[in-house]
Each structure stands twice: as structure tokens, then as C-alpha cells.
Amino acid sequence: MAAVKNITITLPEWINEVVDWQKTYHNDQEKMALAVELSKQNVLRGTGGPFGSAIFACDSGKLISVGVNRVMPMHNSAAHGEMVAIMFAEQQVQSFSLHADGVKRELFTSCEPCAMCLGGTLWSGVKRLVCAATADDARAIGFDEGPVEASSYQYLTDAGIEVVRLVQRDEANAVLQLYANGGGEIYNG
């Protein structure tokens, strides 16, 4: 077997059918609606797990990137929705930090991040994290979110990242239930 020399992360083909890249998003409800819709479409179209994310410029509401869970189709346990959105956003702004150019950016995610994605949030340079469903909601269907505690969120806050939780929780939890009821694989269970 030859050594792997590069890895490619791709979004599903349907992304451009769902995402209006020219739209300006005016509030948290509109932004979270996109993240939740991405998670729902990922489940309905069978292209990954029940998690979606989007990154916006805080001041303008301009959409920078999106991400959906690609763990199973990409055979990559790091391809969580948040991490995919962060990777695409960093490519879009051509920086390893989403704040290096002085523009404040925010990450909206359909579920509170797992331990890996909380770390990715810290390292990404976003200045705001907005979550929908809770880690307990994800655990209830079998996902292990890792060592995420109240102190984890306090650490982000202390690092200058505003954390907002429970925005459209019911809508996002309905997607988790849709995935579970449809027999969706719990890939780290």
C-alpha cells in the first residue's frame, strides 16, 4: 500500500442548491436557520452525519463558508461540520486565523461542538460561537462529545470568544432525532 500524501475534503454536490452565497444574513435566527438546514439536508440526502455549520462576518452578515459532517463519506474522523467550515473559511480568507485581517467572524453550528471542535474554534480565530442543539441532545442519540464541560466554554469566553447557546435548539434537535429514527450510524459509538 502506498503512503497517502494528501487529503481532500469536499462538500456534497447539493451545497450550492441549498446555500445562497450572495445573501446577507441579518440576525442570529437567519444564520442558525442555515446551519440547521445544512444539517437536515445532510441527513435527508445521506451525505453525512446530522451536523451543519456556517461562518459569517460579524459586522456585514456575509457568509464566508459552510460545513457539514463528512466523517463517513470522507473516511475521516476529523471531518466534523465545524472543522470543515473552519477549513473552508481559512482557505477563503487565505489565513490560518479568521481574525488575522481584523475582521470579526462567527461560527454558527447546529449542535454544541465536541471536544475537538471546541479546540478548533479556539484555534480558528472566530470571535463568536453560536450553538443550537446541546451536547446532551447529541449524547441522547449516542454520540460521545468528549470532555466538554462548563469550564470549556468559560475557557473560550476568557480567550475573547463570545458564546451563545440554545438558538433554535428545538429545530436542531429535531434533525438529530430524524437521524436517529432513520437508523443513522453513530460512528464513534
Q: Which are the catalytic amino acids?
A: 82
One-letter identity of residue 34: L
Q: Could you give the residue ranges of the DSSP H alpha helices within the chain?
A: 15-18, 28-44, 71-74, 81-93, 115-124, 135-140, 150-158, 169-181
DSSP structure class, residue 26: -
Kindly state the cell numbers that stand for 61: 452578515
Direct distance between the N- and C-terminal alpha carbons of the chain, in angstroms, rounded to an integer: 29
